Copies of this chain bind each other. A is one copy, B any other.
Amino acid sequence: MLKIQDVARHAGVSAATVSRVLNGRATVNPELAARVHAAVVELGYRPNGVARNLRRRQTTLWAVLVSDVGNPFFTSLVRGVEDGGRQFGYSVVLCNTDENRAREAEYIAVALADNMAGIIISPADDATDISALVAAGTAVVTIDRELADTDVDAVLVDNEKGAEQATTHLLDSGYRRIACITGPRRMSTAMERLRGYQRALKSFGVPQDRALIRHADFREDGGYSAMASLLDEGVDFDAVFVANNLMTVGAVECLTEREVTVPDQVGVIGFDDIPWARLFRPSLSYVSQPTYELGRAAAQLLADRIDNPNRPTTRMVLQTELHPRESTRRK
C-alpha cells in the first residue's frame, strides 16, 4: 500500500503539503499543488481512511439502529438515512435489533468502539440506554420514538393526529362501534395513537368502550390474535383502527379467514404504509407516515449535530396523510 510519504517524495514536497492539498484545508502554492495531483495520479495513490480516522479521532460512519429492515416502515426510513448520509459524506452501518435490548446494546458498543461519527436510533423501548454514547460525545438522533430521560435530537411523526385522522375517517364513513388495536403500553407510539383514536371519538360524541381496545405487539401475529379475540368475545363492533402496518395485515387475514366481509360488516383502516396494498382486495385504507422523509430529516439533523455539537436539541414532527381506499367504503 502506497502512503502519503511516497507521494510526497515523488512530488518533491513534504507529506504535510500533500495532506494540505488533498484535504484543501490550507492554501498551497498552485504549482506545488499541481505537482501533488500529478503524483497522486501517476502513482495511483489512495489515502488510507483508517489512518485518517485515527488521527482525526472521527470516522465517516453512522450506525442506524432499527428493529428490522424487513418492516417496510424501516426499509424506507433506512433508505432515507442512507441517501442523506451519502450526501454529507457518511456511510451507513445497518443494525437490526429485533427490538432486542441486548442486541441494541451490542451495536451501541460497536458504534462506540469504532468511533462512529453518529447514530440514528429507533429505540427498542423507553429503557434504551444511550448514556454511553452521550458520555463519549457521539452524536445521536432518535427516530420514530422519543427517549424519556435524555435530551437528544428527535424526528417524530404526529401519531396522535394521524390516529385521529384515521378514526375520523371511519366516523365520517358512518361507522360508530369502532375498535382499536394498538401496540404495547410501554411504547409511546402505541399510546399516542390510542389517544388520537379516543380524541376522534370524543369529537363525534361517540361513547368510549374499553372492550373495544386491544393492546398487541405491533406484529402480524399480534394483529391476528387481537382481531380473533374481538370476534371470539362477541364484541359488537363495525370497524377497526389498527395502529401499525404489520398488525393490519394480521387483522385482515383473520377477518378474511372467518369470512367477515370488509368493508360491509367491518370497516378497516391501518396506520403505516404497506407495499402494494392497493392490490389487496379490498384495497386497504390507511394513514401513511413520510418514512423516507423521516430518514432524510434524521440524516440532516445528525450531520448538523456533528458539525455543531453544542447547538440546542431539535425535535422535528412530521405529519401523516390519509389514503381512503375500499376497506372503509361502506355501501
Interface residues of A (CB under 8 A from B): 1, 46-51, 53-54, 57, 59-61, 63, 68-70, 72, 75-76, 78-79, 82-83, 91-96, 109-110, 112-115, 249, 252-253, 256, 274-276, 278-281
Contact = CB atoms under 8 A, between A and B. Distances in A.
6 contacts: A50-B59, A50-B114, A60-B114, A70-B75, A70-B76, A91-B114
A277 B151 CA distance: 42
A113 B276 contact: no
A94 B96 CA distance: 12
A48 B94 contact: no
Contacts of A79: 68-70, 96
Given A82-B96, A96-B79, A112 B46 contact: yes
A109 B51 CA distance: 16
B281 A47 contact: no
Contact of A280 (B60, B82, B94, B280): B280
Contact of A93 (B92, B253, B276, B279): B92
B115 A49 contact: yes
Nearest to A274: B276
B275 A252 contact: no
A95 B83 CA distance: 9
Given A49-B110, A274-B276, 5 more contacts: A82-B96, A92-B94, A93-B93, A275-B275, A280-B280
